[in-house]
Amino acid sequence: MGGGGLLGDPGDDRPEDDRPDGDGPRTHGRQDVDGPHTHGRPEGVVVDARGLRCPLPVIRLARAARDAVPGAVLTVVSTDPAARHDVPAWARLRGHTVVASREEPDGALAISVRVGTTA
């Protein structure tokens, strides 16, 4: 490895995709949180909570909302049946708005939330 630096240092010659420092390729306004890439979504941030049980889908969504700007749209994808009620309840309590809800081809529920002024 050229540059003689530690992994992720500016002297690291590896392509950005291979660096462990999280400074990989740009996502063009999209960001996946705690899960694999979810394709075909116009939303900015996708929280993949498939396989997680209550309260983890809401906790992961809340974590993403803390870093989001007002007006951003976050989508949580969950296989937990409780998310159908828990996510909208959390959104109301936090001043956010549910803007879409749909079933994914794999049976998971995708709920999109627009972040309000108070995260």
Q: Which residue in the list 33, 54, 62, 119 is annotated as catalytic? A: 54
Q: How far is CA 74 from CA 10, 38, 43, 69, in A?
A: 32, 13, 6, 10
Nearest to 104 by CA among 54, 59, 40, 53: 40
54 is known as an active-site residue: yes
Residues with catalytic annotation? 54
